[in-house]
Amino acid sequence: MNLFHEQNNFHNLNRKEPPHPLIQAAIRTICERLKWFKQPFEKILILGPCRDLLKKESISLKDASTQYASTFEEYNCIISFFDLQTVNDVPTYLSKIKTHLTPGGFFTAVFMGGESFLNLKNELMEVEILHKSDVSLRVHPTIHIADGAALMQHAGFACPMADIEHYMYKYESLYTLIKELRLWAATSHFYETPKIIQKSCARYIIENKKTFEEKIDLIYLTGLKQPSGEKILETTKASINILETPTRD
């Protein structure tokens, strides 16, 4: 079953204006992770709607490809940049990436997941209930950090890792947030269009001037393709405490 229109994601993000601070934070983190490796990658592939924004910010990425080659090709590094949050079949997506990595190749991804837009989801639900309207799915489900790590393991990546950054943004109103999401082209991802919101609900959202806070979780995944001729390391269950980053306004 398809949940998202994958081809429509964030098609307005490559505007002339500076990217949203959230995108800028993700760019910095991805560029820092590329510095983990002493030698630069010869062949890099960047996937996702924001790929050109990332490519412009790093000299090491200036020659990176931004789409799969027409014939099968392997890459030393593949970066998924804000692509995973609206992929219908994540296991197949990750398996394809692993197939296109050279042995020992590096994969990293960033996407909005966890409890992102939870306040928006709850607020819209409350508004529709208040106005006796049918509640409709208006905020897409997200991948949580534990699920991300499990998906990486399932795809067969070596040394899989998942970590998270929390951000909190304050808006003048709920409607201000919705207008910003429209600028991102992030309000029409569902494959099946949600029911049109009632006029009374829309009027309430537009006229309500109460400040609105929203939390966005950026989840990062990293992993390697196991070098050929080496056995995959066996792992045992372990309890891991993840140190969360401070909330950023």
Residue 191: which pLDDT band, with cuts at 50, 70 and 90?
very low
| pLDDT at residue 242, as a whole number | 43
Residue 123: which pLDDT band, with cuts at 50, 70 and 90?
confident
| pLDDT at residue 187, as a whole number | 54
| pLDDT at residue 7, as a whole number | 46
Neighbours of 57 (CB within 10 A): 15
Amino acid, res. 197:
I
Closest CA to 66 of 41, 46, 84: 46
Among 112-121, 138-147, 190-199, the minimum mean pLDDT is found in 190-199
At residue 140, does pLDDT exceed 70? no
pLDDT in tens, 143-168: 899 999 899 999 999 999 999 999 99
pLDDT in tens, 35-66: 888 888 999 999 998 888 899 888 889 899 99
What residue ranges do the domains of the chain occupy? Answer: 6-116+141-167+216-224
CATH fit for domain 6-116+141-167+216-224, picks 3.40.50.150, 2.130.10.10, 3.40.50.300, 3.90.15.10: 3.40.50.150
Residue that the structure tokens 């607020």 belong to: 123
Given a contact cutoff of 8 angstroms between Cβ atoms, the answer to whether 171 and 211 are in contact is: yes
The average confidence (pLDDT) of the chain is 79
| pLDDT at residue 244, as a whole number | 47
Cα–Cα distance list, 116 to 83, 110, 121, 123, 236 (Å): 15, 13, 9, 13, 31
Tell me the C-alpha distance between 94 and 82, whole Å.
14
Characterise 21 by phi-psi region: left (phi > 0), alpha (psi -120 to 50), beta (else).
Answer: alpha
Residue 175: which pLDDT band, with cuts at 50, 70 and 90?
confident
| pLDDT at residue 68, as a whole number | 93
Supply 28's token pair: 């910095």
| pLDDT at residue 77, as a whole number | 96
Given a contact cutoff of 8 angstroms between Cβ atoms, the answer to whether 249 and 216 are in contact is: no
Predicted TM-score (pTM) above 0.75: yes
Q: pLDDT above 90 covers what percent of the chain?
A: 42
At residue 6, does pLDDT exceed 70? no
Supply 106's token pair: 């590096």
